Structure 1
Amino acid sequence: MVKDKWNSFPVQGNRIVSFKEKLKLLKSKLKVWNREVFGNLHVEKRRILNELEELDNRDCIGGLEESERLNRMALTSRLVENDEKLESLLCQKARASWFKSGDSCTVRLEAKKLFEARFMATKDLGVRLDEVEFKTLTLRDKEGLVAGFTEKEVKDAVWQCEGSKSPGPYGFNFNFIRKSWDFVKA
């Protein structure tokens, strides 16, 4: 499904912009697919719990038949599966939220350090560079800074990253990019 959707999206502009736009479109398609395949996990959990409660009430009043006991076991199993999916979803949402907002304490501390270092007063404001030689880049090095990336360089960079990390706010991590490499690499 991912490959079919990916290939159906139009390619416009340079590759980076196209890649970003395709990820954005894919995210919206995956949300629709997720709803169609898995439904609303919270609604499903409430439905299962209501059925279990009804069976428990009937068990207290007069006992359950064997088929009802088997149904109760199946419902309990589905409840556990549903809870695992909900937990996974909550972890993904928490990671995405942290990625967007970051750790506010860390951000504040880094900003404080930056301003302290930037505006710290020193007694000696004179800078002397007597006979200091600065290294310069060769023409080849300069050209390398503005040259395009090769597919191998991009692949090597993706494979060196930790799989659960996401390179952008769309929630697609490096494991996704690796598994989809055959059609995403273009």
Structure 2
Amino acid sequence: MSRLDRFMVSEKWCVSWPNCIQVAHQRGLSDHVPVVLDVDNANWGPRPLQWHQQHFKNLDGKILEAKNQISSLDIKGEEAELLEEEVKELHDLSVQLHSMARVQTSMNWQKARMNWVREGDANSKNFHNMMSSRQRRNAIHLVHVDGVLVEGVQNIHTAVYNHYSSHFRALDVLRPGVDGLNFRKLSYTQAASLVQSFSLEEFKQAVWDCESFKSPGPDCFLGWLHV
């Protein structure tokens, strides 16, 4: 460790936290050692992860045992009517089995995520197995076309091309048009009046028609101020 790989503490710090310790981890590819300052004031017992591991230890065996007990009660129920206590036990076992199954699924998912984070992008055997599995799932080995099984790369290419080309092909169909319809049209005089300049009287009339509470225009003045 170098002089940079340490904590600077004072006497007052040591008095306030006498149980503080400095933990150095492996430096890996870095030139410096990661240092963690830890304060162990009290021992609170096993950590949640350790409790979780102890509580769900041998989860597969517990699930198998619950399945065997449920199967035994089901067989007994086919031969004779179950007692009230046995019906309650069967219900409790079903609830426990579903609960343990959910926990097992969650743990397997977390283990898979941890395994992928640890070995996924490291060009490891697990990475290549995952990529091979994904490639197998994405591969198209055969398709059904009009009830006929089509195999082979070239045959599948042709079937896919024909399927989409038949959907997006332009068809010669009779489409409705506007030919033969008589629309009302403007005369040349009316059309010319649409582009002619406004007269001074029209400007005055538009301003005079503005109410006093109209919103300001682009110049921040109300219409009634323009006289």
| TM-score band w.r.t. shorter chain | 0.3 to 0.5
Larger radius of gyration: 2
The TM-score, its normalising length taken from structure 2, stands at 0.35
Which structure dedicates a bigger proportion of its chain to helix? Answer: 1
Larger relative CO (CA 8 A, sep 6+): 1 or 2? Answer: 1
When normalised by structure 1's length, the TM-score is 0.42
